[in-house]
Homo-oligomer: A and B are copies of this chain.
Amino acid sequence: MRVSLRVSCWLPAAFTVIITITGWAGGLCASEYGETQDFKWPAAQTAGFFCAGANVVMELDFGKLDGLIPAVIQDHATGRVLMVGFMNEEAFRLTVQTGFATFFSRSRNKLWLKGESSGHRLVVKKIQTDCDADCVLVEVEALGPGVCHEGYQSCFFRTLDNGSWAVTEARQYDPKEVYGGK
């Protein structure tokens, strides 16, 4: 099998692409995409779900929320729910193909590779969908101290306690140092 790799650059310029052939489990999906294809970057860890053809995307129901589905992000080691984002078809396909969780940002109206600014990427370990196929559950290994842009390990750092929301954990990092003025 002849493999042609072309690294597309919507990665940050400083991002170092490390290609570890032995780390691949699913190969390059040659049977589905032909022997050559565009390929952005391999996942740090793979789980055998690289081949995201049209069928698996089309089986998801993006019609209920104007082209989006909620994506629940769960730490694969601890089971903690880290965040909920939204994916459109392209974000889901990129998530599957790259092995890094990618969302569609509703506020910025564009694709959003989680960690593109902070480096706190989410390495995909497992993807599940629900009975209605209108939601996905993504188990990840979270790179970095936290996924929340406010400095917490999880975006769910506030707990309802006797009628008000209480911050129930400590910050893991200083968001100003990571995100600067963004």
Contact = CB atoms under 8 A, between A and B. Distances in A.
B159 A126 contact: yes
Interface in A102-142: 106, 126-133, 135, 137
A120 to B, nearest CB: 14
A39 to B, nearest CB: 16
A149 B131 CA distance: 8
A53 interface: yes
A144 interface: no
Contact of A32 (B128, B131, B163): B163
B128 A162 contact: no
Nearest to A159: B128
Interface stretch (A5-13, A15-23, A44-52): A44-52
Contacts of A70: 70, 84
Q: Classify chain A: how many residues form its interface, as a range.
A: 35 or more
Given A163-B32, A164-B55, A155 B127 contact: no
Nearest to A156: B128
A72 interface: yes
B131 A155 contact: yes
B129 A158 contact: yes
Contacts of A126: 159-160
B165 A150 contact: no
A46 to B, nearest CB: 11
Contacts of A130: 83-84, 148, 155-156, 158
8 contacts: A48-B161, A65-B65, A72-B84, A84-B135, A128-B159, A129-B158, A129-B165, A135-B155
